[in-house]
Amino acid sequence: MKTVALLLFPGVQSLDVSGPMDVFAEANTFLAPDQGYRLVTVGTAPYPIRASNGQRLGADHGLDDAAACFADFDTVLVAGGPELALQADNPQLSAWLRKMAQSVPRYGSICTGAFLLGRAGLLDGKRVTTHWSDAAQLAAQFPLAQVEHDRIHVRDGALVTSAGVTAGIDLALALVAEDHGPAVALAAAKRLLVLAQRQGGQSQFSPYLSDAQAPDALATLIQRYVMEHLAESLSVEHLADVAGMSARNFARQFVREMAVTPAEFVQRARIDAARNLLEGSELALKTVAWRCGFGSAARMRLVFSQRFGVTPAQYRDSFRLCHN
């Protein structure tokens, strides 16, 4: 059997724990008793551990006695929590994680659990991912890590990391497929009514445009104009005219406010609009492409393939599967 340990702490996201554990537990129903997974939890004191949603969780091991079990662990996964990105380093936990990483064949994180690994120095020089909304902060805090913003999960040697919350399920399914083949992973996915392998990256679940804080800000003005004129040409010069600025000053101020160029902003806005239409309508692909400013279905297909690794048709089919 393979032993999988989940690390818990106060404020942990409960779905980061239960999602992967349910995947491994379902996989056990398709495996011989001596070939499945033994699931254990490791918790930091005090007990019981209260999750971010208020749920109380117990643990099989504390940090000290779990360290004595490292030789028996095959995989250790660090769950995430909504406040982890803002917390200070816990020297005791970081030391435990470093010792763990030297002892187990496979370890990693779910969602913001990557911040705990980063504070332990375990992300340096590694390709990693986390929830899309925390990826920039992860990259800023740990500049030696190669943060991949649009991946559902990433494997780099013994280290595995996943995007936010339900992506822990995707990661667990990938580990089951790695251990026992895709057929077992697919069977477990069917039992849980999830996709065995989601197509595309996590950008498909992270709308780029958000409600603006300041109604008179440059970003608010341009965001509103772009969304109302997606099918038109939206060059930097044209947007600068809308803002009443020179093209150079506009581009400089826009990047300062949005941390992205005007061209990239327009591209992401078009992608978001196309995703919404693909998810919620049966419009022809050429109609979606025209409404969202891509000009042609071929151009939209190229952009989707580059950004998500899937075509617009495959993207739409994935959402149909999720709702069936």
| Sign, CA torsion 164/226/256/211 | negative
Residue 75 pLDDT more than 50?
yes
Catalytic residue of the set 69, 111, 292, 322 = 111
State the pLDDT at residue 308: 81
> What pLDDT is stored for residue 280 in this prediction?
73
Cβ atoms of residues 4 and 38 within 8 Å: yes
For residue 156, the surrounding DSSP H or E stretch is strand 153-156
Q: What percent of the chain has pLDDT over 90?
A: 65
Task: Name which of 21-30, 148-157, 176-185, 208-217 the model is least confident about.
Answer: 208-217
Q: What is the pLDDT of residue 256?
A: 86
Q: What is the amino acid identity at position 108?
A: G
Q: Could you tell me which residue, 74 or 275, shows the higher pLDDT?
A: 74
Q: Is the pTM of this model over 0.75?
A: no
Closest-CA residue to 12 (of 24, 23, 21, 2): 21
Tens of pLDDT, residue by residue over 204-214, are: 554 444 444 45
Cα end-to-end distance, the chain, whole Å: 34
The DSSP element (H or E) to which 77 belongs, if any, is strand 75-78
**112 touches 137 (CB < 8 A):** no
Output the average pLDDT for the chain. Answer: 88
The verdict on whether 111 is a catalytic residue reads yes
Return all residues near 69 (Cβ < 8 A) that are at least 6 apart.
Answer: 5, 40, 61
Strand 153-156 and strand 159-162: the pairing is antiparallel
Query: What is the mean predicted confidence (pLDDT) over 137-146?
Result: 95
Least confident of 16-30, 179-193, 198-212, 223-237: 198-212
What integer pLDDT is reported at residue 208 of this predicted model? 46
- Which DSSP category does 198 fall into? -
